[in-house]
Structures are given as structure tokens and as C-alpha cells.
């Protein structure tokens, strides 16, 4: 047997009674206490949690009831990461093309101007015309060998795809070769300056050939 409290005077009555024995008021069962409020969940340590709950509604009315979760990757711009790894083979192939390109330019230059390289050729063969095609041919051959050597060095050092470093190394090697020519001739620093500029142009060309010709800018 249970007991029920009178809602009017608070006296305890048997649950089988219909009226309070004290105040004779009808007994009405007290309303159950309200449920406790739900405890607030602690926020997760995730700044993107709210975005994961968002759903992107389809524009097409046929699929209006089929949402999809928002793609978090859409907030970022995807870009291609260029491959910069290189080896001796890459340097060799770029050195051939770069040597031919720079060699053609230097051949035209040496047909119009006499530099230390031309003087060195004339010392070996005084009968050679200083502005003839033989000087241009020797100049092309020299720059081809120079390009191969520089390309192999850049490839071995993994610098073919780094244009500033390739140009810097080319200028240094060209200045050394120009210094050797100046020492052989026993004359000034003109050959060192021309050799440095030639090496700079060759290193730059080799790097650009590898990046934009063989790798298509990738």
C-alpha cells in the first residue's frame, strides 16, 4: 500500500482514498518533477567541427532531398608542386641543347669581335681568318663541350631546375675558363669577364631548357 500527499494541505493519505481525511479535498496526484536539463556537451577541440555538420544542398530540384557533406578541401586552392629533382642525365640532355643555343650566339659574336678565345685560336693557326666560319665552328664546339660539362656538374649537384643557382655556377665556371685563357695569352681580364657572362648565360639557358622544354613547366 502506498501513500499520496494532499495537494491542498500536504497530509499523507492512502493511495486508495479519494478525499483527504484532513481537509476533505479531492486527492489529485502531484505532477512528477520536471526532468533535469540536459548537460551541455563540452566543445570538442576542433575548429572545423561545425563545418563538418553543414550540408550543401543540391541546386537541381530533382536532388533537393539529397544533401552531401561539405567538402573541406574546397576552401583551399590546389596548385601543382613542381618537381625539382635532377641528375646527371637531366644535366647532360639540357647541356647539349643549352650549349648549342649559347654556342650559336657566341659564334655570331666572335665573327664580329675578337676576344681571348679567338686570339687563342689564331695563336695555334695564324692563317685562320679571325672573322671566318672556322672561328664560328670552333666557338660552337667549345660551347657544346662547355654546356655538357656544366650540365653534368649541375645535374650531379641537383641544381638543374634552380635557375639562379645554375646561372651562378655557370658564371663561376666560365670565369675560371676565361682566367685560364687569359693566363695562357698573358693579357688582361677581358677573357675572365666574357667567360663569366658566357657561363652565366649558359647556366641560365640549361636550367630554362630543362624546366620548360623537357618538363614543360611542370
CB 202 within 8 A of CB 146: yes
What's residue 44's pLDDT? Answer: 55
pLDDT in tens, 57-94: 555 555 555 555 555 555 556 566 677 899 999 999 99
What's residue 179's pLDDT? Answer: 94
DSSP states of 74-124: GGS---PPPP----HHHHHHHHHHHHHHHHHHHHHHHHHS--HHHHHHHHH
pLDDT in tens, 11-27: 777 777 777 777 877 77
What's residue 60's pLDDT? Answer: 56
Q: Give the sign of the dihedral formed by CA 202, CA 206, CA 203, CA 173.
A: negative
Domain regions of the chain by residue span: 1-31, 88-214
What's residue 79's pLDDT? Answer: 61
Query: Which regions of the chain are under pLDDT 70?
Result: 1-3, 28-32, 39-81, 218
SS3 3: strand
What's residue 12's pLDDT? Answer: 76
Amino acid at each position: 500500500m502506498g501513500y499520496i500527499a494532499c495537494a491542498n494541505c500536504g497530509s499523507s493519505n492512502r493511495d486508495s482514498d479519494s478525499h483527504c481525511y484532513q481537509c476533505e479535498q479531492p486527492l489529485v496526484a502531484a505532477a512528477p518533477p520536471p526532468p533535469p536539463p540536459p548537460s551541455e556537451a563540452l566543445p570538442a577541440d576542433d575548429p572545423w567541427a561545425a563545418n563538418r555538420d553543414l550540408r550543401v544542398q543540391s541546386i537541381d530540384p530533382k536532388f533537393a532531398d539529397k544533401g552531401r557533406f561539405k567538402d573541406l578541401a574546397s576552401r583551399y586552392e590546389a596548385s601543382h608542386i613542381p618537381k625539382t629533382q635532377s641528375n646527371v642525365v637531366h644535366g647532360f640532355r639540357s647541356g647539349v641543347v643549352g650549349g648549342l643555343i649559347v654556342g650559336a650566339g657566341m659564334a655570331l659574336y666572335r665573327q664580329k669581335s675578337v676576344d681571348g678565345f679567338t686570339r687563342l685560336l689564331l695563336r695555334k693557326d695564324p692563317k685562320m681568318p679571325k672573322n671566318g666560319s672556322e672561328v664560328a665552328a670552333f666557338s660552337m664546339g667549345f660551347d657544346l663541350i662547355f654546356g655538357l660539362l656544366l650540365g653534368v656538374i649541375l645535374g650531379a649537384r641537383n641544381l638543374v631546375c634552380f635557375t639562379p643557382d645554375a646561372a651562378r655556377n655557370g658564371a663561376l665556371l666560365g670565369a675560371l675558363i676565361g682566367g685560364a685563357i687569359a693566363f695562357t695569352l698573358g693579357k688582361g681580364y677581358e677573357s675572365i669577364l666574357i667567360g663569366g657572362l658566357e657561363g652565366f648565360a649558359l647556366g641560365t639557358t640549361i636550367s630554362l631548357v630543362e624546366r620548360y622544354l623537357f618538363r614543360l613547366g611542370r
